[in-house]
């Protein structure tokens, strides 16, 4: 009845409709409206992925104008996989948020999450450089509003920090796009890729776009906002930030870099990005090891995991691209599961110190099973999505004769093992006397487990995502 192109439109329109309606109905119906909208969006996103996997790349000219006058959408395998990831990981986090946040926060969380969902789906599909800016803006402001949803001081502090870094990031990106438009008179990514030439305008534009997106993602050394923001934000919001929102800006960078900038820039620039990524892996992991707060351990681990993603730029092969996207997807599931588990632990014992986990493995088995499975994927032990990703990257680093990245991958894995085991070890010690463990709803215990199982499943059946990724891959 409905073609793939209409389904793409619904995957963006449905969360938007849900967000607006859930604001309109007032306090009574928010959950119902958001629930219906989430299920509908999940169906639309899955059908888009199905269409892409069976019929290849989908395109749509919005408004029927076509580039360069209008905006175009392009859904290849990469976009379809991202749509699926958002549609599965996001709702699981929001299910957890419902019981974790208070009643008022609940009502404010759901519309904002739906706006972000709309923005991320729009971002993934867009093939227009300015439209990408609009989607980044919507994501950023939605994230800030979510971070401050509790209206407490740590949340406001975290929200302001995020805003002060993400906004200049957006403006840098916008300025870069303005240069590209000034020089090549188009905003369509495909047309830019054909017209772009090596020269000062392109170099400066590439620099501005890259710096802007690295601020948002964030890449070392622009990551200084991440640990305090991730720690101060409410835990379900941190999970969304780390699992999905930071991936949005990385996705844009990956797209623009591989499709537009890479052919006209020297290979050294890619090496530089890879080097910063490598430093992020080691620096983030070492700092994760030295933290005393549980949530900060997981937050610094995100700095490291984002570092791996930048290893795609020096290798720039289709294998490295697949590996990095596999890392993006499995990190989304694994890290969301770990943050949600951290939220459960805070809720159960009210202790934010790393020592607070002591003895909890016996009381909250599902939460710690999730933590362990998520950790396995972060480290890259088979079978897990993280293992497949690192295996692909390892192969490429050998294949492109850049063996030094292999050392980074292995060293980072060892350090990750150390900080994950540091959390798990404590949980198996006997419960200290005098600690009361509040029981938490079963749904909250199962949400992180479901997320962790997805990370595991990505390691068991890698062919489906990998086949999907191959659809429309340029090289």
Partner 1 sequence: MDVLLDGVLALCLPLLAWLVLRTESLSQAVVLFVAFGLLSALGWARLEAPDIALVESAVGTGLTGALLMHTLSWTEETPPDIRARGRRRPWALLAVAASTLMLGWAVLALPADSPGLGPLVEARREESGVKHPVTAVLLNFRGYDTLLEIAVLLVAALGARAVNPRSERPTPDAGDDPLTGELFRMMMPALLLVAGYLVWVGDHGPGGAFQAGAILAGGGVVALLTMRMGPPRLSSWQVRWALLTGPMLFIGVAVAPLFTGRRLLELPRPYAGTLIFVVELALTVTIAMVLLMFFPGTRPPRAGAEGEP
Identify which of 76, 146, 114, 80 has the alpha carbon closest to the alpha carbon of residue 329.
Answer: 80
DSSP per residue, 4-52 = HHHHHHHHHHHHHHHHHHHHHT-TTTHHHHHHHHHHHHHHHHHHHHHHH
Torsion of CA 12, 16, 21, 26, to 10 degrees: 140
**Run of H or E residues at 264:** none
- Name the minimum Å distance from CB 48 to partner 1: 13
Residue (13 or 466) nearer to partner 1, CB: 13
From the CB of 138, what's the least distance to partner 1, in Å?
Answer: 5
For partner 1, the closer of residues 119 and 192 by Cβ is 119
- When asked if residue 351 is in the footprint of partner 1 (CB under 8 A), the reply is no
Question: Do residues 52 and 29 make contact, with C-beta atoms less than 8 angstroms apart?
Answer: no
Site for partner 1, residues 105 to 124, rule: CB under 8 A: 108, 111-112, 115, 118-119, 122
424 to 453: interface string for partner 1, x by CB under 8 A = ------------------------------
Candidate ranges 143-151, 270-278, 356-364, 465-473; the one touching partner 1 (CB under 8 A)? 143-151
Q: Which of 16, 88, 275, 325 binds partner 1 (CB under 8 A)?
A: 16
- Choose which of 137, 190, 318, 466 interacts with partner 1 (CB under 8 A): 137
Instruction: Give the contacts of 34 (CB within 8 A, at least 6 positions apart).
Output: 18, 22, 94, 110, 111, 113, 114
Can residue 224 be called a binding residue for partner 1 (CB under 8 A)? no
Residue closer to partner 1 (CB basis): 172 or 345 = 172
**Smallest gap, in angstroms, from Cβ of residue 210 to partner 1?**
13
Categorise residue 4: left if φ over 0, alpha if ψ from -120 to 50, beta otherwise: alpha
The verdict on 249 binding partner 1 (CB under 8 A) reads no
Which string of DSSP letters, residue by residue, matches 293-350?
A: BHHHHHHHHHHHHHHHHTTHHHH-SHHHHHHHHHHHHHHHHHHHHHHHHHHHHHHHH-
Residues 149-168 that bind partner 1 (CB under 8 A): 149, 151, 156, 159
131 vs 367, which CB is nearer to partner 1? 131
Closest Cα to residue 377, out of 458, 447, 463? Answer: 458
CB nearer partner 1, residue 9 or residue 417:
9
Q: In whole angstroms, how close is the CB of 215 to partner 1 at the nearest point?
A: 14
Of the candidate spans 21-29, 274-282, 303-311, 384-392, the one that interacts with partner 1 by CB under 8 A turns out to be 21-29
Closest CB to partner 1 among residues 173, 368: 173
Q: Does 20 bind partner 1 (CB under 8 A)?
A: yes
Question: Is 340 within 8 Å of 242 (Cβ atoms)?
Answer: no
CA distances 415 to 21, 86, 282, 305, Å, are 46, 28, 8, 12
CB of 349 to partner 1, least distance (A): 28
**Are 269 and 211 within 8 A, CB to CB?**
no
Could you say whether residue 229 binds partner 1 (CB under 8 A)? no
Residue 389 to residues 26, 265, 361, 392: CA-CA distances in angstroms? 44, 26, 29, 5
Helix ranges restricted to H, 56-76: none
Strand partners, 455: none
- Helix axis angle for 318-349 and 365-379, nearest 10°, is 150
Asked whether position 131 contacts partner 1 by CB under 8 A, the answer is yes
Q: Of 118 and 372, which CB lies nearer to partner 1 in the complex structure?
A: 118
Q: For residues 71 and 93, which CB has a smaller minimum distance to partner 1 in the complex?
A: 71
Contacts (CB under 8 A) with partner 1, residues 165-184: 175, 179, 181-183
What residue has token string 């996103």?
Answer: 45
If residue 72 lies in a helix (H) or strand (E), which one and from where to where? strand 72-75
Residue 372 CB, nearest approach to partner 1 (Å): 36
- Contact between 97 and partner 1 by CB under 8 A: the answer reads no
Nearer to partner 1, 122 or 315 (CB): 122
For position 26 contacting partner 1 by CB under 8 A, the verdict is yes
Residue placing its CB nearer to partner 1 in the complex, 154 or 441: 154
Between 153 and 438, name the residue whose CB sits nearer to partner 1: 153
Segment 34 to 93, residues that bind partner 1, using CB under 8 A: 60-65, 68-71
How far, CA to CA in Å, does 107 sit from each of 34, 96, 343, 442? 10, 14, 19, 21
**Contact residues: partner 1, CB under 8 A:** 2, 5-6, 9-10, 12-13, 16-17, 19-20, 23-24, 26-27, 60-65, 68-71, 108, 111-112, 115, 118-119, 122, 130-131, 134-135, 137-138, 141-142, 144-145, 148-149, 151, 156, 159, 175, 179, 181-183, 185-186, 199-201, 203-205, 207
């Amino acid at each position: 009845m409905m073609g793939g192109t209409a389904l793409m439109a619904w995957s963006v329109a449905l969360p938007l409709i849900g967000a607006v309606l859930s604001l309109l109905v007032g306090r009574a119906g928010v959950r119902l409206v958001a629930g219906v909208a989430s299920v509908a969006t999940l169906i639309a996103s899955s059908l888009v992925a199905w269409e892409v996997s069976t019929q290849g790349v989908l395109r749509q000219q919005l408004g029927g104008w076509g580039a360069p006058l209008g905006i175009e959408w392009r859904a290849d395998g990469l976009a379809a996989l991202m749509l699926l990831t958002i549609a599965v990981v996001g709702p699981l986090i929001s299910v957890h948020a419902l019981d974790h946040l208070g009643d008022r926060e609940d009502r404010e969380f759901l519309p904002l999450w739906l706006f972000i969902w709309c923005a991320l789906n729009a971002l993934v599909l867009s093939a227009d450089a300015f439209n990408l800016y609009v989607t980044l803006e919507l994501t950023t402001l939605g994230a800030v509003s979510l971070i401050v949803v509790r209206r407490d001081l740590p949340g406001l502090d975290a929200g302001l920090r995020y805003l002060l870094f993400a906004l200049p990031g957006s403006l840098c990106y916008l300025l870069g796009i303005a240069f590209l438009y000034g020089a090549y008179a188009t905003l369509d990514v495909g047309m830019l890729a054909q017209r772009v030439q090596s020269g000062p305008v392109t170099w400066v534009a590439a620099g501005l776009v890259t710096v802007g997106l690295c601020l948002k993602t964030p890449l070392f050394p622009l990551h200084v906002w991440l640990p305090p923001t991730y720690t101060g934000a409410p835990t379900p919001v941190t999970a969304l930030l780390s699992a999905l929102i930071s991936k949005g800006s990385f996705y844009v960078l990956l797209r623009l870099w591989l499709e537009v900038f890479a052919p006209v820039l020297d290979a050294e620039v890619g090496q530089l990005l890879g080097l910063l990524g490598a430093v992020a892996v080691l620096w983030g992991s070492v700092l994760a090891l030295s933290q005393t707060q549980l949530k900060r351990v997981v937050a610094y681990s995100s700095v490291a995991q984002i570092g791996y993603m930048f290893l795609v730029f020096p290798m720039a092969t289709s294998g490295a691209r697949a590996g990095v996207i596999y890392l993006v997807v499995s990190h989304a599931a694994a890290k969301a599961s770990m943050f949600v588990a951290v939220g459960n632990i805070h809720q159960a014992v009210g202790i934010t110190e790393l020592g607070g986990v002591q003895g909890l493995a016996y009381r909250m088995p599902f939460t710690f099973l999730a933590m362990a499975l998520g950790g396995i994927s972060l480290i890259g032990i088979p079978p897990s999505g993280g293992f497949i990703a690192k295996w692909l990257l390892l192969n490429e680093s050998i294949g492109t004769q850049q063996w030094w990245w292999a050392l980074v991958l292995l060293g980072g894995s060892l350090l990750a093992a150390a900080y994950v085991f540091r959390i798990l070890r404590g949980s198996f010690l006997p419960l200290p006397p005098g600690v009361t463990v509040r029981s938490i709803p079963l749904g909250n215990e199962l949400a992180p487990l479901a997320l962790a199982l997805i990370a595991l499943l990505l390691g068991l059946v890698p062919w489906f995502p990998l086949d999907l990724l191959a659809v429309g891959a340029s090289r």
